[in-house]
Structure 1
Amino acid sequence: MTELWNADGPGLVELPSGRRLRGRGLRHELPAGQTPTFTVHLTDHEPPSPPWESVWVRWRDFWLPADPVDAMHRLRDAYERAPGERVEVCCGGGIGRTGTALSAICVFEGMDPGEAVRWVRRNYHARAVEVPWQRRFVRRVHAAGAEGTGRA
């Protein structure tokens, strides 16, 4: 089994289930210490491949994923991997898209969409989920049954 995230790492959130995920902005240096074993990149252009496993979700800054259903699947995969891996979710600044993704992951935890956004703002970044349509995406994840299998 992989050594999991240390509890005090930068950008780290611990969900009520105990799963730990790291949110990060790609414009910032990779934090010293542990590196991810799996990353979900939320960017408009395909990022360079890191030396660990990663996936790319095409997602423009201040917008929504180009393919919401694919995004839900990839975020669900990140959620499922978190108990045994060091999972990271990142976008350019590490706030809007990353916060939206973390909020969607909180829906997988069983939170309702509003609670998920509030939780991420309280535990990750106060400005997470920056625009109304990103909050709507979190609601769509919930409406899809939080399984990422429905049409968004």
Structure 2
Amino acid sequence: MGSWSDETAGLVTLPDGRRVRGRGLRRDLVASAEPPELGVYLSGRRPEEADWESIWIRWSDFRRPRDPVAAVETLRRVHAEAAGRRVEIACPGGIGRTGTAIAVLARLAGVPAGEAVAWTRDHYRPGAVETPGQRRFVTELDLSG
């Protein structure tokens, strides 16, 4: 089990100290010296096979995940595993869906629902969480269970 180096591109440190990498599949290459141990890929189509454990969440561009319950279960697992593994979250562009997932992780790490999108934009990418539907997904989720 490993952790990301401090110089990792796209690295986000959540308020509880867990770290994940956000990335755009079309533009951000995986550094061969530091591949993820678990990758979660948010896309309308199944991504290419990876050399590491990976999970696909069916999630079309500018939308919410096709199965929100399963997506949140996966993000809970990501949050838990990020305590000791190199975990990455990625979609083709690395902004909307990836940002939305990171905002949910921020909520799981203690950021209040109404602040999670702004937190993500400050700590990941300024344009993250692109659509009103994605913002509502982040803020309206009941994560108490």
| Counterpart secondary structure, 1:77 | helix
Give the superposition deviation at 1:18: 1.0
Contact kept? 1:26, 1:94, Cα under 8 Å: yes
Q: Distance in 2 between matches of 1:115 and 1:75?
A: 18
Check if 1:9 corresponds to 2:2.
no
Give the superposition deviation at 1:29: 4.2
> When the two structures are superposed, what TM-score results if normalisation uses the length of structure 2?
0.95
Q: Distance in 2 between matches of 1:29 and 1:115?
A: 27
Q: Distance in 1 between matches of 2:139 and 2:120?
A: 14
- Deviation per CA, 1:70-121, whole angstroms, max 9, x where unpaired? 0000111100000110000000100000000000011101211221111110
Structure 1 stretches lacking a partner, 5+ long? 148-152
Q: Distance in 1 between matches of 2:28 and 2:63?
A: 24
Q: Percent identity at matched positions?
A: 47
Partner of 2:19: 20
Q: Distance in 2 between matches of 1:3 and 1:44?
A: 29
Question: Aligned residues, how many?
Answer: 144
Give the superposition deviation at 1:144: 3.8
Partner of 1:117: 117
Contact kept? 1:10, 1:31, Cα under 8 Å: no
Give the superposition deviation at 1:31: 3.4
CA RMSD of aligned residues (A): 1.1
> When the two structures are superposed, what TM-score results if normalisation uses the length of structure 1?
0.91
| Counterpart secondary structure, 2:93 | coil
- Output the amino acid matched with 1:102: I
Partner of 1:150: none
Partner of 2:49: 49
Q: Which stretch shows the higher mean deviation, 28-37 or 72-81?
A: 28-37
